[in-house]
Amino acid sequence: MPELSLRAVTDDDDFQSFMATMYSVFLQDPQPDEIELGRKFTELDRMFGFHDGTRWAATAGAYSKKVSLPGGALVPVAAVTGVTVSPSHRRKGLLTAMMRHQLDDIRSRGTEALAMLFASETLIYGRFGYGLASSNAVLSGRVRDLGFRTDVDLGAGTVTEADRETLLGAAPAIYDRALANLPGRMDRPAPWWDYWLHDTAERRKGAGSIRFALHHEPDGSASAYAIYRPKSDWAPAGPNGELHVQEVRATNPRAYARIWRYLLDIDLIRTMQYDGAAVDERLRYLVADQRALQCQVNDAIFTRLVDVPRALTLRRYAGDVDVVLQVSDEFCPWNTGRFRLRAGRDGAECENTDAPADIAITARDLGAIYLGGVSLQALTTAGLAGELTSGAVPATATAFGWPVAPSMPDHF
């Protein structure tokens, strides 16, 4: 076999062949329009892999993104993407070498204290210190069974269909405003919006083309949007349409309720599915029959603290805490050590210490609890974290928890 060299993508032709390998290993045909859109937010020097002189044998990369943390800070994150090893080269350690290279690179860049990714298979990334930190929910049901609680205030706004341009005139500001209260979500600059709204047969999954709705307040300001695809269907007994909802965002509860009411009332629709929901999605509490709205929970973002003390100072905490964490990190040994975290709702300090540790935890499990959606108490009860000082875990678990469940529907 030709010798492999680890290198970054050099130019656009090289990027095309890099992407061709990536699509191929993901068992897809390359999508030229998607690649072109993705190129707009791709930094070539962050895309790298093993090349045999003729073709790419393995690929990996990262986008420079920002993620919303508990407490509302929007901080830089390496959004890891495009990780593939060709079938001819699998299980020879290429992924391990790429993870090594990438985490060293993120550390030396110094901008990002965090890396995040979606895993194609959940067994892959724990060994590299990534912990499963958030879940997405798929909500589905028969719209006529759902109903709405009668005490829901729908406000006095109006919902209308919008074209893409009108949506793009209003939705980014609504999204950005909502972001601070949505831990685990990433920023969506204009090229990412284009990618998010890109409408291909593959993305439609048998439904119709993408549609948009906008909610306006009585004063004319836009305060909610919905992105969805209807699927026409006729059963022998009559209409049997499906509604595939991609995203609903609102700046206030009435607008959120009103736009959902609009979606669920569309004539000829009988069933709905919302793939981009959070586990604590408000719709679950607005419907009259909660059982009729089924909720399937799927794993979402894996989080890796590349710089443990810095990462711990970036987020806010649900309660005051003063705790010494004994962190073990085999893959990034610079994180192994004892760190004293003094933190609360208003800020956090974290520094190396020689003081005795209260809690022992791996970097992977620290990544899992980082967004506030996984309980340190549960991990301790499961034997994955250790309570070294009696009573340290409940208080620390409360501080690390967060009232809003993290989630992230935008795949990258």
Which structure tokens are listed for 99?
């993870």
Determine whether 125 is an active site residue: yes
411 binds ligand COA (CB under 6 A): no
| Among residues 123, 156, 201, 235, the one that binds ligand COA under rule CB under 6 A | 123
| Among residues 6, 8, 35, 124, the one that binds ligand COA under rule CB under 6 A | 124
* Long-range Cβ contact pairs of 52-55 (< 8 A, separation 24 or more): 52/1, 52/2, 52/3, 52/4, 53/2, 53/3, 53/5, 54/2, 55/17, 55/21
Q: Which of 18, 262, 400, 412 is catalytic?
A: 412
The CB-of-128 to ligand COA minimum distance in angstroms stands at 9
| Among residues 120, 209, 294, 296, the one that binds ligand COA under rule CB under 6 A | 120
408 binds ligand COA (CB under 6 A): no
Q: Which stretch binds ligand COA (CB under 6 A): 68-76, 87-95, 228-236, 372-380?
A: 87-95
Distance (Å, whole) CA 120 – CA 124: 8
Nearest to 281 by CA among 184, 172, 182, 193: 182
Half-sphere exposure (Cβ direction) of 70: Cα atoms closer than 13 Å: 31
The two beta strands, 74-85 and 131-132, are unpaired
**Direct distance between the N- and C-terminal alpha carbons of the chain, in angstroms, rounded to an integer:** 32
Judged by beta carbon, residue 134 or residue 273, the one nearer ligand COA is 134
Q: Which of 23, 48, 125, 128 is catalytic?
A: 125
Judged by beta carbon, residue 92 or residue 310, the one nearer ligand COA is 92
Give phi and psi for 213, each to the nearest 5.
-135, 145
Which structure tokens are listed for 402?
């967060």
25 binds ligand COA (CB under 6 A): yes
Judged by beta carbon, residue 95 or residue 159, the one nearer ligand COA is 95
Give phi and psi for 143, each to the nearest 5.
-60, -35
Judged by beta carbon, residue 212 or residue 412, the one nearer ligand COA is 412
Q: Say whether 91 counts as a known binding-site residue.
A: yes
1 binds ligand COA (CB under 6 A): no
Judged by beta carbon, residue 44 or residue 124, the one nearer ligand COA is 124
Judged by beta carbon, residue 131 or residue 309, the one nearer ligand COA is 131
| Among residues 84, 136, 380, 407, the one that binds ligand COA under rule CB under 6 A | 84
The two beta strands, 238-239 and 234-235, are antiparallel
How many other β-carbons are positioned within 10 Å of the β-carbon of residue 301?
A: 28
The CB-of-395 to ligand COA minimum distance in angstroms stands at 35
91 binds ligand COA (CB under 6 A): yes
- Residues in the interface with ligand COA (CB under 6 A) total 17
Contact 365, 309 (CB under 8 A): no
| Among residues 78, 85, 314, 379, the one that binds ligand COA under rule CB under 6 A | 85
The CB-of-119 to ligand COA minimum distance in angstroms stands at 5
Distance (Å, whole) CA 157 – CA 351: 50
| Among residues 2, 32, 72, 93, the one that binds ligand COA under rule CB under 6 A | 93
Q: Say whether 93 counts as a known binding-site residue.
A: yes
The amino acid that residue 196 corresponds to is W
Judged by beta carbon, residue 105 or residue 194, the one nearer ligand COA is 105
Q: Which stretch binds ligand COA (CB under 6 A): 83-91, 164-172, 354-362, 384-392?
A: 83-91
313 binds ligand COA (CB under 6 A): no
The two beta strands, 234-235 and 74-85, are unpaired
Q: Vertex 84, ends 78 and 90: CA angle to 5°? A: 135
The CB-of-58 to ligand COA minimum distance in angstroms stands at 7
Q: Is the dihedral of CA 25, 28, 31, 34 positive or negative?
A: negative
Determine whether 412 is an active site residue: yes
From residue 34, how far is each of 94, 313, 317 by CA, in Å? Answer: 26, 37, 39
Q: Which residues bind ligand COA (CB under 6 A)?
A: 25-26, 83-85, 90-96, 119-121, 123-124
User: Can you say which residues are annotated as belonging to the binding site?
Assistant: 83-85, 91-96, 120-121
Residues involved in catalysis = 125, 412
User: Can you say which residues are annotated as belonging to the binding site for acetyl-CoA?
Assistant: 83-85, 91-96, 120-121
